[in-house]
Amino acid sequence: MKKAKIKLLLLCLIFSIFPANAQIKIASVLGNNMVLQRNSEVKIWGKADPNKSLKITTSWNKASVTAVSNENGDWVAKVKTTEAGGPYTVSIESGKEKIKLENILLGEVWLCSGQSNMEMPVIGFPYQPIIGSAETLLQADNQNLRLFTVQKTPMSTPQDNCIGKWEVSNAETVSKFSAVGYYYARLLQQKLNVPVGIICSSVGGTPIQAWMSSKALDTFPESFKKSSPEARDQNRPSYLYNGMINPLVNYAIKGIIWYQGEANRANYKDYTDLQKAMVNSWRADFGVGEFPFYYVQIAPYAYGDSESPLSAFMQVEQLKAMALIPNSGMVCTLDLGSEYWIHPADKETVGKRLAVWSLSETYGFKGLSYKSPTFKSFEVKDSIVTISFNNAELGITDFDKSVDCFELAGEDKIFYPAKMIKMNNEFRKIQVISDKVKAPVAIRYAFKNFPRTQGYLFSTTGLPVPSFRTDDY
């Protein structure tokens, strides 16, 4: 009964934005303080009386376009944006009615989505801090950075509208906004020197299926399209897409950052295909081309059993997805995990790593280090394994900490702890040996929920090497 009342209240809130006796109404993602994607064609849309003519005027180019509502009262207009700047206004008129949106900026617009590690605000969760949040809030005032949080609204059918509003960056608004999303947007704004708008649509503890449309799930087994009667609405297939993504698809974006995966560890074998299908679906729905999709590999965490390899299997699948999804990139957080907290406290590093990837690949900045070294190949000689890496131009380092998370296996497929040996004459490679494995055939690195190690492998610029394995056991 309580759940039904909550759903009814959410529906009432959504429909109150588009009331039945409306004259002119606009979607809630459009409003004062918004950022519109620069140098593009953007949509302005909403509700009106059926067959109503509307005039939309934009102050940045002093141009007007017209739109006519259909028999259901839906209307949409396409307007051209120019170079970054503002503040500007947008006016929507029909007869004697007029809506004027103010303090609008033209710049870069990004969407951040996922589960709780994306949702986690700058101020943190109860008993779970964000490193540096007090200083972040002290420096949060920025008229050229705008934030929009989509209220948690799981729905059984696709919705046209959501609940939220655009806010200017300051200590109060930033404190409750996604930490990863904020740090990402802040660095983009600083480096690009243009306005940036960031939309957060994230819900903790949710599987990827909840964020996929029913159409995107069509080709998957029935088990991915159903949920138990006891499941929370936010965990049901397509419910979050319906209530929190579909209402945004008319809004022109530059790209998406994604932080999710913890809730899909049990079905890690299917995750690469699920993520690829979700991205393809979102790109088709937003209709702005093959936009950039940058995502975070889940961090180490015990999940009740630090020695289990389950999350490492997921990490490997996440890395595979980068090769299958065009215009995508993955940042590694192997060095940021916590054994007893699923939410790493250092969200600034996560946001920065995503932003540096975006600055390099999307915006063409040169000379930045953004790709982690990854496993390339190995060879065995006299029981010693020599490992080579990609993206390791200046070599691999352990920052003088013992790397205790290698394992080797022989033909018996039993993995034993292995010791790493530095190669003085070859800084792009490392060697691994175990006195219990005389003829190694397989390697695993950092392949536990939470590896017991003093240190990890990094590039010389401080980017961690992701977990890897050479077996398919």
Amino acid identity of 466? P
Q: Which DSSP string corresponds to 5-49?
A: HHHHHHHHHHHHHS-TT-SEEE-TTS-TT-EEETTSEEEEEEEES
Q: Is position 165 within any domain?
A: yes
If asked whether residues 185 and 320 sit together in one domain, one would say yes
**Last residue of one domain, picked from the residues 104, 119, 140:** 104
Given a cut of 60, whether residue 470 has pLDDT beyond it is yes
Total number of domains in the chain:
3
Same domain? 357 vs 392: no
The strand pair at 442-445 and 384-390 is best described as unpaired
426-449: per-residue pLDDT in tens? 889 999 999 999 999 999 999 999
| pLDDT tier for residue 425 given thresholds of 50, 70 and 90 | confident
Same domain, 328 and 457: no
Percent of the chain with pLDDT over 90: 93
Pick the last residue of a domain from 81, 104, 127.
Answer: 104
Lowest mean pLDDT among 158-172, 223-237, 269-283, 366-380: 223-237
pLDDT tens track for 57-105: 999 999 999 999 999 999 999 999 999 999 999 999 999 999 999 999 9
Do 111 and 95 share a domain, yes or no? Answer: no
pLDDT confidence of 17, banded at 50, 70, 90?
very low
Residue range 210-230: average pLDDT?
95
Residues 63 and 91 both lie in one domain: yes
Q: Are 455 and 416 in contact (CB under 8 A)?
A: no
Residue 5, domain member (yes or no): no
pLDDT of residue 3: 52
If asked whether residues 353 and 432 sit together in one domain, one would say: no
181 lies in some domain: yes
Where do we find the tokens 């039904």?
Answer: 4
Q: What is the mean pLDDT of residues 377-387?
A: 96
In a domain, 7, yes or no: no
Single-letter amino acid, residue 412: D
Query: In terms of domains, do 317 and 181 share one?
Result: yes
In this prediction, residue 427 carries a pLDDT of: 87
Which pLDDT value is given to residue 424? 79
Q: Quick one: DSSP state of residue 467? A: P
- Rounded to whole angstroms, how far apart are CA atoms 267 and 371? 27
Q: Summarize pLDDT for 104-144 with one digit per residue, the tens.
A: 999 999 999 999 999 999 999 999 999 999 999 999 999 99
Whether residue 145 is predicted with pLDDT greater than 80 in this model: the reply is yes
DSSP 8-state symbol, 178: B
Same domain, 136 and 272: yes
- pLDDT, average across residues 161-175: 98
Give the separation between CA 109 and CA 37, rounded to whole angstroms.
6
Do 266 and 193 fall into the same domain?
A: yes
Q: Is residue 249 part of a domain?
A: yes
Q: Which long-range contacts (CB under 8 A, 24 or more apart) does 398-403 make?
A: 398/422, 398/455, 398/456, 398/457, 398/458, 399/455, 399/458, 400/455, 401/454, 401/455, 401/456, 402/453, 402/454, 402/455, 403/453, 403/454, 403/455, 403/456, 403/457
Q: What is the mean pLDDT of the chain?
A: 95
Higher per-residue pLDDT: 22 or 205:
205
What the block records as the tokens of 374 is 């990854």
Asked if pLDDT for residue 471 goes beyond 70, the answer is yes
75 with 32, same domain? Answer: yes
Sign of CA dihedral 339, 342, 347, 349: positive
Whether residue 254 contacts residue 112, with contact meaning beta carbons closer than 8 Å, is answered with no
Please tell me the predicted confidence (pLDDT) of residue 467.
98
395 within domain boundaries: yes
| Cα gap 432→417, rounded to integer Å | 10
The model's pTM is: 0.94
Whether residues 253 and 173 fall in one domain: yes
CB 314 within 8 A of CB 261: yes
Helix and strand element counts for the chain (H, E): 9, 23
Confidence grade of residue 12 (pLDDT, cut at 50, 70, 90): very low
Domain encompassing residue 123: 107-363
pLDDT in tens, 277-331: 999 999 999 999 999 999 999 999 999 999 999 999 999 999 999 999 999 999 9
Percent of residues in the chain assigned helix, strand, coil, to nearest 5: 25, 30, 45
CATH number for position 359: 3.40.50.1110
Residue 11 has pLDDT above 70, yes or no: no
Last residue of one domain, picked from the residues 363, 397, 430: 363
The CATH number covering residue 32 comes to: 2.60.40.10
Residues 444 and 385 in one domain: yes
On whether residue 4 sits in a domain, the answer given is: no
| Within-domain flag for 50 | yes
